[in-house]
Amino acid sequence: MRRDIFQALADPTRRAIIVLIAVQAMTPNTIAENFKTTRQAVSKHLRILTECELVKQEQKGREIYYSLEIDKMKEIDKWLEQFRKIWETRFNQLDKLLATIKKK
């Protein structure tokens, strides 16, 4: 089943996992140590992030390491950029309006 990326990112635990593995690849056990939850719950979050292609797995010996999928994060950033431009334009308009009101 294909999951929605933004639904996956809506969960605070999954966002925290992404922040953790953005710095360095980690095993599920290492990731789980950072949360007050079970290893199984962390595994479920990792499965969802993997299905959304936000993280990737790499087998090293007997361990599986999870790391951030940079290209997918770039896709999300590119999509968000259009909204960033809209927000910046609106904030600039609001700044001008407030400056005009302050002058009066």
Instruction: Summarize pLDDT for 18-30 with one digit per residue, the tens.
Output: 999 999 999 999 9
- pLDDT in the model for residue 22: 94
Instruction: Summarize pLDDT for 61-101 with one digit per residue, the tens.
Output: 999 999 999 999 998 999 899 999 999 999 999 999 999 99
Q: Has this prediction a pTM greater than 0.85?
A: no
Q: What is the DSSP letter of 64?
A: E
Classify burial at 86, counting beta carbons within 10 Å of its beta carbon; exposed 0-12, middle 13-18, buried 19 or more.
exposed
Give the pLDDT band (50/70/90) at residue 2: low
Rounded to whole angstroms, how far apart are CA atoms 21 and 4? 20
Rounded to whole angstroms, how far apart are CA atoms 16 and 22? 10
Show the tokens assigned to 96. 């001008």
